[in-house]
A = this chain, B = another copy of it.
């Protein structure tokens, strides 16, 4: 296939070409992946979308939020791509974004592009594919790329490490239900949005928002946060309330980070992070070789029962199985 031609068509904004490109980077076949890399390399490199990470468990109204927020951006003349990171997804039309009818209006907009989550694979693979899909969307000149996750395993970390802004979407809750936020996620958020702040839930949303605003104040300030961030605020995707305010806050945050140098510095650090992750991933992939795995299981059993210390067992494994071929 002609990857230069595909790249040119993606750069002109042809949706089918973009979909084709993403299919290449999502493929398990090495030749497809290589072609996908060629396409990315041939895209105009100066294009940059705002990458917004969005995490929220099922039930918080994530699809409704993305639809309403995406439509609001489109009304402002922006082009919006929506991608998903869901390492648990085994269904083609299932847990996340599989059902485009959940975003009925947005999916029919020419200025929107929605890509359901690819099927299950290990998280390293998901991260690579999503990063490459983001690069393809940027090459296709989208202004905003929303990267959505339901937060299985380490997927929030993956999304946070490729996003310029990270949003945590929550539903109003009372009392015991407040235990729902996974450990470590609150700490990644630039903004916590309490959705469903409408009708009967308005009062609960106000309380929940105050609770999280209080919890955010317990966290140590990060250098990349201007005064007042991270912040908690209320939105209603259903009533389309608070969306412009949230977007204005995001833009204020991003403008500040650009002016202070944190925006570019974070992107460069993220690129280096992913390079090092890929190197580690490739090295650690050796541990999945059958002979290594067998040796490791046998040693791990001895470690668990106390017959070997972790150090002695690890040294044995590395020396018998994992030495570099050109090590001195």
A residues apposed to B, CB below 8 Å: 33, 37, 40-41, 45, 128, 131-132, 135, 178-184, 186-187, 211-212, 214-215, 217-221, 268, 271-272, 274-284, 286-287, 289, 296, 299-300, 303-304, 306, 309-315, 317-318, 321-327
- List, in ascending order, chain B residues with CB within 8 A of A212's CB: 218
Chain B: CB-nearest residue to A277: B310
Could you tell me if B40 and A221 are in contact, using CB atoms closer than 8 angstroms?
Answer: no
Chain B: CB-nearest residue to A285: B318
- Nearest-CB distance from A189 to chain B (Å)? 11
Given contacts A132-B309, A178-B218, A272-B300, could you give 16 more A-B pairs where the C-beta distance is less than 8 Å? A40-B309, A45-B306, A131-B309, A179-B221, A211-B218, A212-B218, A275-B310, A278-B313, A278-B315, A283-B283, A286-B324, A289-B327, A321-B326, A323-B325, A324-B324, A325-B327
A-side interface mostly: helix
- Nearest-CB distance from A269 to chain B (Å)? 8
Q: A218-B179, A283-B284 are in contact. Are A304 and B211 (CB under 8 A)?
A: no
Q: A219-B179, A304-B272 are in contact. Are A131 and B322 (CB under 8 A)?
A: no
- Nearest-CB distance from A180 to chain B (Å)? 6
- Nearest-CB distance from A228 to chain B (Å)? 13
- List, in ascending order, chain B residues with CB within 8 A of A296's CB: 279
- Nearest-CB distance from A20 to chain B (Å)? 18
CA distance A132 to B309 in the complex (A): 9
Could you tell me if A280 and B284 are in contact, using CB atoms closer than 8 angstroms?
Answer: yes
- List, in ascending order, chain B residues with CB within 8 A of A179's CB: 217-221
Q: A272-B304, A283-B284, A300-B272 are in contact. Are A218 and B215 (CB under 8 A)?
A: yes
- Nearest-CB distance from A42 to chain B (Å)? 12
- List, in ascending order, chain B residues with CB within 8 A of A278's CB: 310-311, 313-315
Among the listed B217, B271, B300, which residue makes an inter-chain contact with A303, where contact means beta carbons less than 8 Å apart?
B271
- Nearest-CB distance from A59 to chain B (Å)? 15
- List, in ascending order, chain B residues with CB within 8 A of A289's CB: 324, 327
Q: List 21 A-B contacts (CB under 8 A).
A: A132-B309, A132-B311, A183-B219, A184-B184, A215-B218, A268-B304, A271-B310, A272-B300, A275-B299, A275-B303, A275-B310, A278-B311, A278-B315, A279-B287, A282-B318, A283-B318, A283-B322, A286-B327, A289-B324, A321-B326, A324-B324
